[in-house]
Amino acid sequence: MRLFYAVFLPEEVKRALVEAQERVARYKGWREVAPHHLHVTLLFLGERSEEDLEDLLALGHRLGRLHPPFTARIRGTGYFPNEGTPRVWFAKAEGEGFALLAQRLREGVREFLGEEALLAGGDKPFKPHITLARRKAPAPRVPPVVFGLEWLVTEFALVRSELKPKGPVYTILEKFPLRGDHGREQEESAGKRSQDH
């Protein structure tokens, strides 16, 4: 099964991005991403066997317990590649939690499944983004769009992607709430230690 970890967006953020997608909807060469598919990919895993699923779910739960919720922001748009003919139009996502979660997912997957399990995601640096449209035929770039979007990321998910003729079908296999229990336990035990002195 084809898998990835991702953060999905709240409805109000999706609505704002769907409005922005109208900028490319007029050009047949661009295909917009469906609103329910808008997300930030944390780690793409490619094809994995069902035997790996238990470890991948356990990793998600472990990191959910470690990480507290964090604030995410979207300020503007960009293209992949930035120069020449773009293939992807995206919204830039900001928030320290994205990079931290992505890094720890990579470390965890390497620990559980080995370096080979990371090859599907390539070796490009992690850049949190939300793909808004893909270019399927010649079509112009649209001017940058400026956003002032902000939301609290409270969970991430392990997702199965099935490639169909009409586009991918995503199935959320499991959601992992960001609780940050580990940090809270450390603070509580530090507070208890200071009271003991």
Task: Judge whether 39 counts as a catalytic residue.
Answer: yes
Catalytic residue among 37, 129, 182, 197: 129
Sequence-ordered list of residues with C-beta below 8 angstroms from that of 128, at least 6 positions apart, any chain: 40, 92, 93, 94, 95, 98, 99, 102
* Neighbouring residues of 73: CB distance < 8 A, sequence distance ≥ 6: 93, 94, 95, 149, 150
Cα separation, 41 vs 12, in Å, equals: 19
The residue annotated as part of the active site, out of 36, 37, 39, 67, is 39
Q: Do the beta carbons of residue 3 and residue 48 sit within 8 Å? A: yes
Residue 177: CB partners within 8 Å, gap ≥ 6?
64, 154, 155
Q: Is 37 designated active site?
A: no
Which residues neighbour 183 within 8 Å (Cβ) at sequence distance 6 or greater?
Answer: 66, 68
* Distance set, CA 178 to CA 63, 64, 165 (Å): 8, 4, 35
Closest C-alpha among 56, 21, 50, 39 to residue 147? 21
Helix (H) or strand (E) holding 12: helix 11-25
Active site residues: 39, 129
